[in-house]
Structure 1
């Protein structure tokens, strides 16, 4: 009796969770992004000499030089003082995109070099860099 009950329960569980053929065909099939190539107009930017507490911005521009759409999946920075904003849409072949980088110099001093890593469907992992010399009246470092 127990085996019959378990068998019926198992059958109903499997039968009720499956989707009908109409539901399966109605689902949108996402095709994986194919790798493409992008080229930046510059890979680094120097802000020069800044005072601690300044917030500065720079926009890096790139072009999709490949034959497939480019999508930025994520951007990683090596410091909490660097924030990014980027184009959210797909960048079609031949079109241009942008990544805006903000550097907050609060609490920084001396020569600062920060990196930005772009994760997307480009053939190669892309790295950007920003640098500045930060003057901080509270700290004085001699080189």
Structure 2
């Protein structure tokens, strides 16, 4: 009976040990390193849809996880990696700007929330949007 209890205890311990060895813990600190944090689309005609990819790398020593990315305008669509980014790896965040209904000098911010030491990173885009319809009405 003692041998059976010892074998069961050994199997339980080995099972727990194998389970723990498969789980990954993020013991390091991930860090964003963006190639650019600001992009100027230049002069656009209202209605143009343009995009830019903000390249970045994880220059930290922990796995980088982007939790969410938000823009301050519904005119922006964002595509970002949902998989963890290992230390030393690179990827990009694509920002698509639809200039329909906009006019003049435009400044938009994109907030990136991640498991980094500074939990947010700010990206920005600018453009000068020429909107003939709005310009026509403002001259009368």
Residue equivalent to 2:115? 121
RMSD of equivalent CA atoms: 2.2
Instruction: Answer yes or no: is 1:58 the counterpart of 2:60.
Output: no
Unaligned runs of 5+ in 1: 1-20
Residue equivalent to 1:18? none
Unaligned runs of 5+ in 2: 1-11
What's the TM-score, normalizing by structure 2?
0.76
Given candidates 29, 40, 44, the residue that maps to 2:34 is: 40
Matched pairs, number: 118
Residue equivalent to 1:81? 75
Q: How far apart are the structure 2 equivalents of 1:51 and 1:73?
A: 34
Secondary structure of the structure 2 residue equivalent to 1:138? helix
Would the aligned equivalents of 2:46 and 2:103 in 1 still touch at CA under 8 Å? yes
Residue equivalent to 2:9? none
Secondary structure of the structure 1 residue equivalent to 2:101? coil
Structure with the largest fraction of helix: 2
Given candidates 49, 62, 69, the residue that maps to 2:43 is: 49
